[in-house]
Structure 1
Amino acid sequence: METIFKNLMDIETEYTTAVERLFTAMKDIGENHTYKKNEAFFDFKNNEQNILLIESGAFGFYRQNDRLLMQESLAPAIFGLVMVSYNPDVILFAHSKLSAKVVPWESALRIIEQEGLWHEVVIVLGKIIKVYVERDMNLIGRDAYHIIKHHLNLLMLLSVEERYSTTAVKFITNRSMLSRSRVMDILKKLNDGEYISIKNGILNKINSLPDRF
């Protein structure tokens, strides 16, 4: 029992292995699909009790009514393991070429039960919870500067090629409700104060972002 709880605390280490085991168990069922960049491929609101296994690619969660980018993620990933009475108005869009498999929920549940994969399910759900807790801690109740700071750090984590493909303003406004003028004003002040280095709208470097600004 102690080993189980220790493993559950180390979600990042366990996640990839857990997903691989679930993918392997379901390799002979479901339908395989390939999606192009910017193609919508999963609507949580209209999901008919399916589990989605994303095998390769990058994708984003978008709020349906205004297409606000809520969260980005990379394969491997699994969604739909928990059935809830309310399906959110959220759509997944591919951010690159993407491969996925759709598996009927009852078929997946039967295999999970037969193969004794509930520990792996808990690890996957723990990872999902961890991502959203971290996001909410950085965004809920925060002022404009802290929201911008959070997204600047996310932008800096991207590869150089990805980071240079978009402006800092576009990256932040696509992921928040902040106005373009407000974002530009704060970025200009941060750049003038040499907290960051931006040239032609592209974030080149973060020197040191203060706790308050």
Structure 2
Amino acid sequence: MDNYDKNGLTSKPVAHIQALIDSLLPLTLFPVRKGKPGQSFQFLLQDKRMCFLLVRGECVIKRNSDSLILHAMIAPGITGLSNFTPAPAHLKVQATTAIEYIYLSLDEFYRHVDDHDLWKAVAYSLMHVNSRFNEYMKSTTAIPNYELICNLLTALSEESFETRATVSAVQYILDRTSLSRSGVMKTLAALNAGGYIVIKRGLLIKMNKLPEKF
């Protein structure tokens, strides 16, 4: 059965993801490499679907067309597991910190999984991906702009201290939506003036209970 966090979301199956990573570590064929902030990895490389395992650090998944951030990933993490994802060339993984990673073709990864009977770990990892995708759709699709901004302010407030201390609230929202800069800034300014949030030098310092309507 799934475990759930305090917000009712399926929690990350860390033990299963770590088991997949640990199974690859002794193999010289798939070495752990180091990457720098900003380095990108494609889901489709030379016509091969790729699997990306994050051993250490943080990354985001972006659309290639407009760099819209779809998901953030903190180690241990894994992405690119599905053979049925449409248009994988439209997506990429990008490091936001110094990272350590394993990057191999999906075919190679699944041969390894088959050889070492790791399908349970894969199943839990895929269930987590599906859960997070459903939550993303629920919180960002077909909802009013104000509600979308509130959802992302909440997400920002739950980010790591490094992210909250370096990424402005405006930029965090713009990176994850197609909203206009002027509209986002107007909404944040009104919330700040009303005492619902505290923003200093663009950074979200504190968030109180937000009004249901704006």
TM-score, normalised on structure 1? 0.87
SS of the residue corresponding to residue 31 of structure 1 reads coil
**How do 1:60-209 residues align onto structure 2 when only pairs under 5 Å count?**
60-84=60-84, 86-88=86-88, 89-209=90-210
Closer/same/farther in 2, CA of residues 161 and 94 from structure 1, 3 Å limit: closer
- State which drifts further: 124-133 or 64-73: 64-73
- Give per-residue Cα distances to partners, 1:22-68, cap 9 Å, x unaligned: 1222221413321100111x112436233221111111111111112
Output the CA distance in 2 between the equivalents of 1:45 and 1:105. Answer: 10
- How far the C-alpha of 1:80 sits from its partner, in A, is 2.8
Query: What is the aligned-residue identity percentage?
Result: 26
- How far the C-alpha of 1:189 sits from its partner, in A, is 1.2
More helix by share: 1
Output the CA distance in 2 between the equivalents of 1:156 and 1:168. Answer: 10
Whichever residue aligns with residue 44 of structure 1, its letter is: F
- What residue number does 2:7 align with? none
Closer/same/farther in 2, CA of residues 126 and 195 from structure 1, 3 Å limit: same
CA contact (8 A) 2:16 2:125 kept: yes
Closer/same/farther in 2, CA of residues 21 and 61 from structure 1, 3 Å limit: same
- Give per-residue Cα distances to partners, 1:117-175, cap 9 Å, x unaligned: 21111100011111111111111001111111011111111233431212211111121
- What residue number does 2:18 align with? 20
- How far the C-alpha of 1:9 sits from its partner, in A, is 5.5
SS of the residue corresponding to residue 109 of structure 1 reads helix
Q: How many pairs are equivalent? A: 205
* Alignment partner of 1:43 is 2:46: no
Whichever residue aligns with residue 56 of structure 1, its letter is: R
Output the CA distance in 1 between the equivalents of 2:53 and 2:71. Answer: 17
Output the CA distance in 2 between the equivalents of 1:20 and 1:164. Answer: 29
CA contact (8 A) 2:55 2:75 kept: yes
- How far the C-alpha of 1:102 sits from its partner, in A, is 2.0
Structure 2 gaps, min length 5: 5-9
- State which drifts further: 186-195 or 156-165: 156-165
SS of the residue corresponding to residue 34 of structure 1 reads strand
Output the CA distance in 2 between the equivalents of 1:176 and 1:111. Answer: 37
- Give per-residue Cα distances to partners, 1:73-121, cap 9 Å, x unaligned: 1111122322237333011110000111123433332332233221111
Output the CA distance in 1 between the equivalents of 2:50 and 2:184. Answer: 39
Output the CA distance in 2 between the equivalents of 1:72 and 1:120. Answer: 21
- What residue number does 1:3 align with? none
Output the CA distance in 1 between the equivalents of 2:77 and 2:68. Answer: 21
